[in-house]
Amino acid sequence: MPTKSLICLFWILSLSVCSRAQNLPSLILNRNINSTFSIIAFDPQAQEWGIAVATNNIYVGNSTCYIQPGIGAFSVIAETEPIYAYNGFEQLKDGKTIEQAIQYTRLRDTLADYRQVSGIDAKGNVYAFTGSSLKYWKGKSTHLTGKYYVVMGNQLAPNVLHDMANTFEQTEGPLAVRLLKALTAGENAGGQISGKQSAALLVKGSRNEWFNQIDLRVDHSRDLFADLQKLLNYHYGRILINHANYAIGMGNKKRGEDLLKRAVKQTMGWYGIYPKIAKTYLLLGQDQNAINLSKQRYWPNPDGGKMFRLFIACIMIGRSAPYTR
């Protein structure tokens, strides 16, 4: 009888691991441990702090990423415990170093050996630790620190963190772009051996208006990294539309047109933004482009025909040029 029970247990564990619903350490220890990899970084020029992360569970962006612009940022993975971030911010505000801020909670945490924590302060100083118990998990569990960044993860393929670090260092552009490229490089190097189910990208800056802070999340997707890239493209595309409208308003239609072309490419598939793009086309006097784009936006909807004809009527009121279907 005991033998049959062991066989049944083996098959249950095997099915669970194969289905990527949960990992073996979580099942054995009865703890919510998820295989995860992340990068946390600081851009001193832009005064931005950012985190990119992927895991084999849902809502990773809700439980592992913490940023207070002008104070610092924390990423808490493996067996997540938000108190590291909450206490960490208070410690940084009290003038402690980033190492002291993290160690404050670690010394009081009886489960610290099951966690991974990285942090970065207001000046870009970094610190991280990987709990000693994680070395017994299948795959690689460790962290690497560099100038203004930390990469870390558990249950990883061998080259994940090195590829993430190299990509981040060699990539130019905004912090969000560099973070996502680094995360994607980690995935291309093998990522987590137990699969991925959610990913997130968070960037906040002390000089950024609220509408330019980035908080993007993808859950339960078949292609996390492509979907996250699409959302980031939408973010930058929206900004380009605003810049195009400003340029047109200032009398620089050529610049406005160039910016709008870039925006259209970056927002392709985001139907909710199409009316705003159509309005910009109208400002440029490109009625037919506005009509074509709006038809894509409205026609698939149940009342799309009515909405589309209303849109055309609005154009016709303001324009004398005839419209050809």
pLDDT at residue 324 in the model = 38
Angle at CA of residue 197, ends 196 and 202, nearest 5°: 95
- Tens place of pLDDT for every residue, the chain, 325 residues? 455 555 554 444 444 444 333 444 444 444 444 578 999 999 999 999 999 999 888 888 888 999 999 999 999 998 899 999 999 999 999 999 999 999 999 999 999 999 999 999 999 999 999 999 988 888 899 999 999 999 999 989 889 999 999 999 999 999 999 999 999 999 999 887 666 689 999 999 999 988 889 999 999 888 889 999 999 999 999 999 999 999 999 999 999 999 999 999 999 999 889 888 988 998 999 988 888 887 776 655 555 555 555 555 555 544 544 433 3
pLDDT at residue 101 in the model = 98
Q: Which CATH architecture has domain 29-221?
A: 4-Layer Sandwich (3.60)
Q: Domain-by-domain residue ranges, the chain?
A: 29-221, 237-318
126-130, strands of its sheet edge to edge: 65-68, 72-78, 115-121, 126-130
3-state helix, strand, coil in the chain (%, to 5): 50, 20, 30
- The first and second tokens of residue 308, run together, are 């589309």
pLDDT at residue 195 in the model = 62
pLDDT at residue 60 in the model = 87
pLDDT at residue 163 in the model = 97
Q: What is the DSSP string of 57-113?
A: SS-HHHHSEEEETTTEEEEEEES--THHHHHHHHHHHTT--HHHHHHHHHTT-TTGG
Cβ–Cβ under 8 Å, residues 17 and 23: yes
pLDDT at residue 20 in the model = 39
Q: Please enumerate in sequence order all residues whose Cβ is within 8 A of that of 112, keeping only pairs 6 or more positions apart, or say none.
A: 106, 129, 131
Q: Are strands 198-205 and 72-78 parallel, antiparallel or unpaired?
A: unpaired
Give pTM, 2 decimals.
0.82
